[in-house]
């Protein structure tokens, strides 16, 4: 007999801090007890009690082709039968790097790693090593992993140094990061005018997905490229989330901006721990063993993760794939908006590629400040109403959602039927 979520959560908290291995899983933002899952297939999850849900979290983005896709599982099984790890070069690593280079416009050399945090951390070290400068610029509401230098929030003014956003981050480290408002071109122009010669790089989610979905305003990414060129800083696109999600070549292909460095993760591992850092050849050649910037990893390029990534990327790069997932995402948000309007609920939604955002406010947000104006209490009620009807959304008002190629007419109909009842409860 299976245990209830309450019992499973109580048991987990005896051995794991907070009962979870990543904070948002704890349902602290929405309240209640987290769902414990047992299996997944296509667009559906099955929990420990055997209940099924349409999944719009997708393991926080990686499951672009759907859960347990037969070709991905077969590739993993074949690789696992040969070896679990070598800690040495394999031909498959080179094949994956070649495929990434063919998909993403700016990648001249690629280094494989194990996590998005590791990729962004290495990108900052490389930017500093290449430029000989110390300061990094990030944007309020953009998340780039949990390394010390990136767990930083805005100071009291545009030109102040950042403040730690986590205990355990020394103020001295946070002081090397400057924080601007996402989509505020005038503010970052002011910052570069004052401190441009000290800035090693600018790191940005070209489409923000960690404060819900926030699209770049026209001209914002272009301004970042121009400012970095003018002042000799590096432009770093964090495409851990957007890579393969907003276009096969990532946001840089969709918007026509060529960054100096790019971090990738999530989709490129097909659900297994895999990430990548790539970019201009002259910059990437500063990495050891060619250059003085050190980075290493025992499990980098793990053959099981590489196999899953290769199989996933080949499926996602097929003709018509992107159009299919984009069309479903567009239908989903249009349907949700229609159901909210029918119920008279203040709500809006938008999508780009296979990512989407839901907002309990009248217009889609363009900044962190606007995101924070959303009605979080109303989202939390909506989340639980949808969960009770078998629809699994991200358990936070500040996270983007994801669709997969496995989502189709049945999943859309189930979602909109649930939404009609959930919005009805909000009216």
What is the set of active-site residues?
Answer: 143, 238, 266
Element at 70 (helix H, strand E): helix 70-82
Beta strands in 216-306 (DSSP E): 234-239, 261-264, 275-279
CA-CA distance, 113 to 232, in Å (whole number)?
27
CA-CA distance, 97 to 112, in Å (whole number)?
8
CA-CA distance, 131 to 77, in Å (whole number)?
43
Angle between helices 303-316 and 70-82 (to 10 degrees): 160
**C-beta of residue 107 within 8 angstroms of C-beta of residue 100:** yes
CA-CA distance, 124 to 50, in Å (whole number)?
44
If DSSP codes are grouped into helix, strand and coil, which group holds residue 287? strand
Q: Which residues pair with 137 in a beta bridge?
A: 178, 202
Contacts of 226 (CB under 8 A, 6+ apart): none
CA-CA distance, 334 to 264, in Å (whole number)?
29
| 293: number of Cβ within 10 Å | 18
Of the candidates 241, 239, 312, which has an alpha carbon nearest to the alpha carbon of residue 67?
312
**C-beta of residue 364 within 8 angstroms of C-beta of residue 358:** no
Of the candidates 333, 336, 354, 350, which has an alpha carbon nearest to the alpha carbon of residue 215?
350
CA-CA distance, 305 to 273, in Å (whole number)?
6
CA-CA distance, 240 to 242, in Å (whole number)?
6
Q: Where are the alpha helices (DSSP H) in 264-320?
A: 281-284, 303-316
If DSSP codes are grouped into helix, strand and coil, which group holds residue 229? helix
């Amino acid at each position: 007999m299976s245990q209830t979520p309450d019992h499973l959560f109580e048991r987990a908290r005896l051995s794991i801090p907070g009962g979870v291995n990543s904070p948002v899983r704890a349902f602290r933002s929405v309240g209640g007890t987290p769902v414990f899952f047992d299996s997944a297939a296509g667009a559906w999850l099955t929990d420990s009690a055997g209940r099924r849900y349409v999944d719009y979290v997708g393991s926080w983005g990686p499951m672009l082709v759907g859960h347990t896709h037969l070709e991905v599982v077969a590739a993993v099984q074949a690789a696992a039968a040969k070896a679990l790890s070598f800690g040495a070069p394999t031909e498959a690593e080179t094949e994956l790097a070649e495929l990434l280079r063919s998909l993403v416009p700016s990648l001249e050399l690629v280094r494989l790693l194990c996590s998005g945090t590791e990729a962004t951390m290495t990108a900052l070290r490389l930017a500093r090593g290449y430029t000989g400068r110390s300061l990094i610029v990030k944007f309020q509401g953009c998340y780039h992993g949990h390394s010390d230098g990136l767990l930083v929030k805005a100071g009291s003014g545009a030109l102040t140094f950042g403040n730690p956003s986590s205990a355990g981050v020394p103020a001295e480290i946070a002081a090397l990061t400057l924080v601007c408002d996402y989509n505020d071109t005038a503010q970052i122009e002011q910052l570069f005018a004052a401190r441009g010669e000290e800035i090693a790089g600018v790191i940005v989610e070209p489409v923000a997905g960690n404060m819900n979905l926030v699209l770049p305003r026209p001209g914002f990414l272009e301004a970042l490229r121009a400012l970095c060129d003018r002042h000799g800083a590096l432009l770093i696109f964090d495409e851990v989330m957007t890579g393969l999600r907003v276009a096969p070549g990532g946001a840089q292909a969709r918007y026509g901006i060529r960054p100096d460095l790019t971090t990738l993760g999530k989709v490129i591992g097909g659900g297994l721990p895999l990430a990548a850092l790539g970019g201009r050849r002259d910059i990437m050649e500063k990495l050891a063993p060619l250059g003085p910037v050190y980075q290493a990893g025992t499990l980098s390029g793990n053959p099981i993760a590489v196999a899953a990534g290769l199989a996933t990327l080949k499926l996602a790069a097929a003709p018509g794939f992107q159009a299919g997932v984009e069309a479903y995402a567009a239908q989903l948000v249009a349907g949700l908006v229609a159901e909210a309007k029918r119920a008279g609920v203040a709500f809006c939604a938008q999508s780009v590629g296979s990512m989407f955002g839901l907002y309990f406010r009248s217009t889609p947000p363009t900044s962190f400040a606007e995101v924070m104006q959303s009605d979080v209490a109303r989202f939390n009620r909506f989340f639980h109403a949808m969960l009770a009807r078998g629809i699994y959304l991200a358990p936070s008002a500040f996270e983007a959602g994801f669709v997969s190629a496995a989502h189709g007419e049945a999943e859309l109909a189930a979602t909109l039927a649930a939404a009609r009842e959930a919005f009805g409860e909000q009216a």
